[in-house]
Amino acid sequence: MSSILHFKILKHFHQLSHCLTTRHYERDITTAQGQEYFLKSYQFDQSNFILPKQVHGSEIQVVKNEDSLLNKKQFEADAVITNQMNVWIGILVADCFPILMFEPSVNVIAVIHAGWRGVEQNIHLKVL
């Protein structure tokens, strides 16, 4: 089994890079070192990587420009939305459900950490 997965349906959107890592990934992606290793393997700058502190709720953060990117490095949320190019957004899941939404006509992407509390609070509908 591969440790990095891609959705076939999203591969034809050339403006979008995406992937999921499994628990079999060669580094612990939950650590800063594991994230740095992962981003370097994609030749991507870690300063443009956003991984919120997830709180099992329905808080959503929107990254609209570079200024908001700098201000969003440490925040609590269970969903991140952006239309910014060259920005990686991510979430971590164990027994919760990861949701990726992409609207190609406006190049907006969202990642959602959908636990039972977040789903109960309609985080998926709020993101839409």
State whether residue 115 is helix, strand or coil.
Answer: coil
Comparing C-alpha atoms, which of 106, 105, 109, 94 is closest to residue 17?
109
Phi, psi of 7 (to 5 degrees): -85, 120
**pLDDT score for 36:** 87
**pLDDT score for 65:** 76
**pLDDT score for 73:** 60
What is the C-alpha separation between 19 and 38, in angstroms, rounded?
A: 11
- For the entire predicted model, the pTM comes to 0.88
**pLDDT score for 118:** 96
Question: How many structural domains are present in the chain?
Answer: 1
- Give me the residues of the chain with pLDDT under 70, please: 1, 66-73
State whether residue 20 is helix, strand or coil.
Answer: strand
Q: How many Cα atoms are found within 13 Å in the side-chain-facing hemisphere of 2?
A: 7
**pLDDT score for 71:** 59
**pLDDT score for 116:** 95
What is the C-alpha separation between 89 and 111, in angstroms, rounded?
A: 7
The CATH number covering residue 59 comes to 3.60.140.10
Count CB neighbours of 24 within 10 A. Answer: 9
What is the C-alpha separation between 80 and 82, in angstroms, rounded?
A: 7
Q: Tell the residue number behind the tokens 């060259």, with chain if given.
A: 86
Its domain, for residue 32, covers 4-127
Both structure tokens of 78: 């269970």
Radius of gyration of the chain (CA): 14
**pLDDT score for 66:** 67
